[in-house]
Structure 1
Amino acid sequence: MADTEQREGSILQFAPFQSAVDEGFWHKLSSLKLNKLGIDDSPIPITGFYAPCSHSKVSNHLTLLAESLPSESGEQSSTAHGNRNRCAIPGILYNTNTIESFHTLDRTSLLKEEAKKIWEDIHSGKAIEDSSVLSRFLLISFADLKKWTFHYWFAFPALVLDPPATLVDLRPASQWFSSEEAESVSAACNAWRNSSSTADVPFFFIDIDPNSHATIRHLKDWVTCQGDNHKLLFGFYDPCHLPNNPGWPLRNFLALICSRWDLTSVQFLCYRENRGFADIGSSLVGEAVIAVPQGWKDRQFIPNAVGWELNRGKLNRGKMVPRCISLAKSMDPNRLAESAADLNLKLMRWRALPSLNLDILSGLKCLLLGAGTLGCQVARMLMAWGVRKITLLDNGRVSMSNPLRQSLYTLDDCLNGGELKATAAVRSLKRIFPTVEAVGIVMAIPMPGHPVPSQEELGVLDACKTLHDLIDSHDVVFLLTDTRESRWLPSLLCANLDKITITAALGFDSFLVMRHGAGPFSSNEDLKDEAVNALSTDLGNLDLGGRDERQRLGCYFCNDVVAPVDSTANRTLDQQCTVTRPGLAPIASALAVELLVGILHHPRGIFAEGEATSSSNSGSSEMPLGILPHQIRGSFSQFSQMTLVGHSSNSCTACSGTVVSEYRKRGMEFILQAINHPTYLEDLTGLTELMKSAFSFKLDWDADTDVDDDDCVEI
């Protein structure tokens, strides 16, 4: 209220409390809402801070900081006691889920409920033991986390004295005390404020003996300090700077004095400071006459209360309105983008997917082999799921035909011969989401069927070692290249290192998305650590005893009966390019990333069995994300999709125990032989003998044999 001079015999008027909220409070509330509270709108205990007025022109505010809120673990943030600049007082926060709920809150009932707590604390004696509860406050809010806008309204409940207190005298303390008393009171106040045990105790009383010696005491000592010729004043930390009005905390203090000690005349000190020391010149001493209101001796009686903060809106014709603050403009754009990107994922955990593990996703390191149509889409889908560490490997350049189908490139990337795809893709990802940790690797993948001249062997071996190190340093590998043979070496290395591997491949109007099974020498034991279970098993912890390969899921090459060869030689342009219906890549890419998320959230991780839609042991009723298939094959010509399961093959040229063992024995020498000699892998795995057996096998049909229809088996 405005500074108004109060005359003797007039009603005592108080300057209302004012609030201030630090940005850190809203940031922490947002995090608490998204990560822990969800749709739970139960009241939250909070802590506010204030201190005595320390400036002749500005009142101190009740301030909310980040530590005013409880931690996300559920514990109330620890508040250091003895901080002279932070007198802690308890509060309650009602944060609604919608703006409509915020506007329809019953503010009268909420205020009365908090006033009741103050009234009960007075009668129980708690307010004497812990006087901070006399300044208990209330905050209602709505956090619009899409726009980073916060609507809020404070209330500082004050019990209404009826009849109201009458002012007898109010003047600066320097005019009320003698010079000796003023000096002693000032010294006593400074000692009280400098003691860690009393610095943040906001209500007290001052005992001045006949020798003008002042002592400050706790309220609980009131009864034992009654003495002849002693001056007794009730003191409180006054946040108000006005020279003619005491601050708001005095209201409930008078209610306590009136109710507990039946005093009808009260002398009080409005304690204020200047530069950290008691300022007797700006502090006020007053005397008020109070009458015990009717019904106050009845504990069941609850006095009326006032206290909603006076926020008057310019556009609301002076009506009291809530406050609104927007932090969007003041936030760092990168931080704002990160918060907005995670919003959808955190909202999933409110109702739809409480078990979603965002920590696993944000810490996951994904290697994308291929930055073309599939690679661009997969990278964006990974970011949408909260993956922040992405490496793209490709040796191609952006051509004029790419931007329409490959979503990370624009026309500018095609100019001057075309930007390297790995470089352009990373730059685009960082434009989309600045805090993504994206890396581009320009490198060709060595491939079987593409013989290497002797003068180029060292370069190819370096590429093989680089690819091995990249796969070893990542948790997940996506095979997104456009030729079959370019997937062979990564498939072998992933099987050897036991990495989660996802393949996506496109035909003209069909697609395949699949997850590779664990390596042939991996342990099939259930992993206890969920985070480790979700990620690939460390090579050093592998059980080399082997296991039944019939139970292991197959890789991309397990159904092949020939080794991968050069698929681009002697091909027309339409056969060399990936000619597909444009809608295939987004669908296949989305399924590939969804498959990964399913693996990460499955209890058995990479060892999870393949499930089909009609599987009797389908985990759809148990797993929060539904079934976890091995292969997903789709067809646009039929607008159909089916899930299949294929187990590993002992003759697989990429993941069989024979091939992985040979690689472990011979290393890069084995890789070179597989690249330069097309039939080597077939000979090694027994596919050559298998094909010979198949060609030599003859079926003898007896044309004269009569077969009844009843003997036929319907397939």
Structure 2
Amino acid sequence: MAQEEKSRSGCGSSSSTILQFVPFNSLADEGFWHRLSSLKLNKYGIDDSPIPITGFYAPCSHSQVSNHLRLLAESLPTDENGQSSMPAISRGNRNRCPVPGTLYNTNTLEAFHALDKKSLLKEEANKIWEDIHTGRAVEDSAVLSRFLLISFADLKKWSFHYWFAFPALVLDPPATLVESKRASEWFTSEEVKSVSMACNDWRNSSLTADVPFFFISIASNSHATIRHLKDWEACQADNQKVLFGFYDPCHEKDPGWPLRNFLALISSRWNLKSVHFLCYRESRGFMDMESSLVIEALITAPQGLNDHQLVPNAVGWEKNKNKYVSRCINLAKSMDPTRLAVSAADLNLKLMRWRALPSLNLDELSSVKCLLIGAGTLGCQVARMLMAWGVRKITLVDNGRVAMSNPLRQSLYTLDDCLDGGDFKALAAAKSLKRIFPAVEAKGEVMAIPMPGHPVTNQEEKSVVDDCSRLYDLVDSHDAVFLLTDTRESRWLPTLLCASANKVSS
């Protein structure tokens, strides 16, 4: 990965020197990482195939701050059928010029570091070279700024390791800078008005607002016209002043990174030697002649440039604090704790599904309503295991209280639950489940289970009838019933009710 240092030559320079470029900078929004996490969990699984993505950039609009290539939530594919497809991007947004990219998301940090970065960069550069020779880059100039992203999403910690590359074809010998001036100084006063008007019209049209490469023809009467690159051959007989223009994302005195591949296109396709470029920049939504640059460069086409099979070398890995190393972002602090708990639990389940139980339906598990009759040793352990397997709706039935001996054997209780006579087990267990996993819908029902062979006094008769009715309603409103009491008599009535309601019981 060759180092690319920006030029130190300033505006108005007339000495011949190698034309230098200001590297692209990246910015991935939190929404992008959240969307990637969701796709990883619910769609891609352990599939680490390349994913087509879309980045966005716009011309520089600030005198001291360059624009980044940004990734948003909509940068990722939206296809729900398990197929990789380009994201559905609406065109015509002047502030979001779409650029195609490729994402390689690995399953482990070791795999991320082991990626053959040189080969990946070369592969993307080959695509650009192919687009230049097939003419696609003329039809859709955004492909000249094609980019690459490698990443590892550590979903347990909500941290993301990543590295951007903006492949740039290297001309050998490099282009030479002849002159660099502010656009306001290079154009005549009449041309300034006409070019500004033409550029503003180009940017305000929904058909061309996000077309980042173009050319400008200026007639002898100073009238400027902006045209698509595909119209180049048709305009050669007009004998007009011509400049190639591009949306320049940087604010500095040197041109931005997109010019690099533009040079390769011009040299390879049209074999031009001396070329003028307009580095288009804006202020408050309009062309800014003071910050925009006009650059004259000499291009010496290297031998074999027109050979489709001879792909030039490429550079373009992004620096991090002036070093060629990856970056890491941690979103755990910005995430709601409950959401983090849910994501972590879902991740474990999906890992099991990916690797061992492909038929496991997690959506069905999360919606199953489970009734646990008994909140003792068995009830506590079953409740926790159900949560671990993705069950989110649990009701516990018990009329006992937590005794001093219970916390040692029953995992949902602590000493605090035993004080002042002890809390009801059903209520204490439901509260403990929510404390362990806030997303669970746990409820406790304090009631006795009517049992055969146990005499009922006249005073208890109404209470027993009410308990039978409540138990019937609970069994009827749940999908699965677990009989977890410690006597056969207490399991008798629930078993009959389950058989009558055709409910799964164990």
- Pick the aligned partner of 2:278 from 245, 260, 269: 269
Whether 2:226 is the aligned partner of 1:216: answer: yes
- Does residue 292 (structure 1) correspond to residue 301 (structure 2)? The answer is yes
The CA deviation at 1:184 is 2.4
Aligned mate of 2:362, from 334, 358, 362 = 358
Gaps of 5+ in 2: none
Residues 1:306 and 2:315 aligned together? yes
Give the conservation status (yes or no) of the 8 Å contact 2:6–2:21.
no
Q: 1:393 & 1:257 partners in 2: Cα distance?
A: 77
Partner of 1:67: 74
| Aligned residue among 50, 61, 65 for 2:57 | 50
Give me the whole-angstrom Cα distance separating, in 2, the residues matched to 1:390 and 1:376. Answer: 11
Whole-Å Cα distance in 2 between the matches of residues 336 and 396 of structure 1? 34
- 1: CA distance, partners of 2:466 / 2:86: 55
Structure 1 or 2, whichever has the larger Rg, is 1
Q: CA offsets per residue over residues 562-590 of structure 1, 9 Å max, x none?
A: xxxxxxxxxxxxxxxxxxxxxxxxxxxxx
1:628-650 Cα shifts (integer Å, max 9, x gaps): xxxxxxxxxxxxxxxxxxxxxxx
Counterparts of 2:7 and 2:493, CA distance in 1? 82
* Alignment map for 1:90-105 (pairs within 5 Å): 90-105=100-115
Is residue 157 of structure 2 the alignment partner of residue 147 of structure 1? yes
Aligned pair 1:113/2:120, yes or no? no
Counterparts of 1:251 and 1:88, CA distance in 2: 18
Counterpart pick for 2:177 among 167, 170, 175? 167
Counterpart for residue 40 of structure 2? 33
State how far apart, in whole Å, the 2-side matches of 1:188 and 1:470 are.
Answer: 73
Deviation at 1:269, TM superposition (A): 1.1
CA distance in 1, matches of 2:284, 2:490: 74
Matches within 5 A, 1:467-546: 467-502=471-506
Q: 1:325 aligns with which of 329, 339, 362?
A: 329
The aligned amino acid for 1:501 is S
State which of 343, 350, 364 in structure 2 corresponds to 1:346: 350
1:407-418 → structure 2 map (5 Å cutoff): 407-418=411-422
CA distance in 2, matches of 1:81, 1:349: 39
Paired with 1:147 and 1:46, the residues of 2 have a C-alpha distance of: 24
Deviation at 1:35, TM superposition (A): 3.1
> Following TM superposition, by how much is the alpha carbon of 1:3 offset from its aligned partner in structure 2, in angstroms?
6.7
2:389 to 381, 385, 388: 385
| Equivalent pair of 2:7/2:19 in contact (CA under 8 Å) | no
Distance of aligned partners of 1:300 and 1:2 in 2 relative to their CA distance in 1, 3 Å threshold: closer
Q: Distance in 2 between matches of 1:349 and 1:77?
A: 27
Cα distance in 1 for partners of 2:394, 2:475 equals: 12
Cα deviation, 1:442-464, whole Å, max 9, x if unaligned, reads 22223333343445444333332
> Could you give the per-residue CA deviations for residues 48-72 of structure 1, whole angstroms, max 9, x where no partner exists?
1111111111111111122222245
Residue 441 of structure 1: how far off its partner (Å): 1.6
In structure 1, distance between residues paired with 2:160 and 2:447: 49
**Aligned counterpart in structure 1 of residue 23 of structure 2, from 16, 28, 32:** 16
Q: Using the TM superposition, give the Cα deviation of residue 191 of structure 1 relative to its aligned residue in structure 2, in angstroms.
A: 2.1
AA aligned to 1:326 is N
Alignment equivalent of 1:122, drawn from 129, 132, 140: 132
User: Cα gap change, 1:428/1:339 in structure 2, threshold over 3 Å: closer, same or farther?
Assistant: same
Give 1:416 deviation, angstroms.
0.9
Query: What is the DSSP-based 3-state SS (H/G/I as helix, E as strand, rest coil) of the residue aligned with 1:350?
Result: helix
CA distance 1:468–1:183, shift in 2 (3 Å): farther
Structure 2 counterpart SS, 1:343: helix
Higher relative contact order (CA 8 A, sep 6+): 2
CA RMSD of aligned residues (A): 1.8
How many Å separate the matches in 2 of 1:214 and 1:63? 32
Tell me how far apart the structure 2 counterparts of residues 174 and 53 of structure 1 sit (CA, whole Å): 17
Answer whether contact 2:433 2:442 (CA < 8 A) is retained. Answer: yes
Distance in structure 1 (CA, Å) of the matches to 2:86 and 2:229 = 27
Q: Counterpart of 1:337 in 2: which secondary structure?
A: helix
SS of 1:226's partner is helix
Q: 1:177 aligns with which of 171, 187, 192?
A: 187
Q: Distance in 2 between matches of 1:457 and 1:367?
A: 25
Residue matched to 1:633:
none
2:289 counterpart letter in structure 1: I
| Contact 1:38/1:349 (<8 A) preserved | no
Distance 2:204 2:499 in 1: 68
Confirm or deny: 8 A CA contact 1:121 1:133 kept in the other structure.
yes
Q: Provide Cα deviations, 1:194-232, integer angstroms capped at 9, x if missing partner.
A: 222222111111222223222221111111122445222
CA distance in 1, matches of 2:274, 2:190: 25
Equivalent-residue separation in structure 2 for 1:25 and 1:204 (angstroms): 30
- Whether the 8 Å CA contact 1:259–1:292 is kept in 2: the answer is yes
Note if 1:137 corresponds to 2:147. Answer: yes
Cα distance change of structure 1 residues 283 and 418 upon mapping to structure 2, 3 Å threshold: same
Aligned residues: 496
Alignment of 1:201-240 (within 5 A): 201-240=211-250
Q: Which residue of 1 aligns with 2:467?
A: 463
What do the CA deviations read for 1:69-95 (whole angstroms, capped 9, x no partner)?
224533443111112221111111222
Distance (whole Å) between structure 2 residues aligned to residue 368 and residue 173 of structure 1: 77
**Partner secondary structure for residue 406 of structure 2:** coil
Task: Tell me, in whole angstroms, the C-alpha distance in 1 between the residues paired with 2:258 and 2:418.
Answer: 70
Question: What CA deviation, in whole Å up to 9, does each residue of 1:401-437 have, x standing for no partner?
Answer: 1111110000001111111112211111111111111
Structure 2 counterpart of 1:579? none
Rate the CA distance shift 1:443–1:184 in 2: closer, same or farther, 3 A: farther
- Aligned-residue sequence identity (percent) comes to 75
- Is 1:241 the counterpart of 2:245? The answer is no
1:139 CA drift (Å): 1.3
CA positional deviation for 1:338: 1.2
Q: Residue 169 of structure 1: CA displacement? A: 1.7
The code of the aligned residue for 1:56 comes to S
Amino acid at match of 1:85: N
**Residues 444 and 179 of structure 1: is their aligned pair in 2 closer, same or farther, counting only changes over 3 Å?**
farther
| TM-score of the superposed pair, with normalisation by structure 1 | 0.67
Partner of 1:608: none
Worse-superposed segment, 253-262 or 180-189: 180-189
Alpha-carbon separation, structure 2, partners of 1:183 and 1:439 = 73
| SS of equivalent to 2:428 | helix
Q: Distance in 1 between matches of 2:206 and 2:490?
A: 71
SS for the counterpart of 1:291 is coil
**What amino acid does structure 2 have at the position aligned with 1:22?**
D
Partner of 2:268: 259
Amino acid at match of 1:417: G
The amino acid across from 2:63 in the alignment is S
Q: Normalising to structure 2: TM-score of the pair?
A: 0.94
> 1:235-283 CA distances to partner (integer Å, 9 max, x unpaired)?
11111011x1110001101111111111111111111122222222222
What is the 5 A alignment of 1:699-714? Answer: none
Task: Find the aligned partners of 2:297 and 2:470 in 1 and give their Cα distance.
Answer: 85
Shift in Å, 1:494: 1.4
Indicate if the aligned counterparts of 2:99 and 2:143 stay in contact, CA closer than 8 A. Answer: yes
Cα separation, partners in 2 of 1:483 and 1:204, compared to 1, 3 Å:
same
Q: Could you tell me which amino acid in structure 2 is paired with residue 110 of structure 1?
A: L
- What CA distance in whole angstroms lies between the structure 2 residues aligned with 1:357 and 1:10? 64
- Distance change (3 Å), C-alpha of 1:187 and 1:319: closer
Q: Deviations over 1:579-604 (max 9, x none)?
A: xxxxxxxxxxxxxxxxxxxxxxxxxx
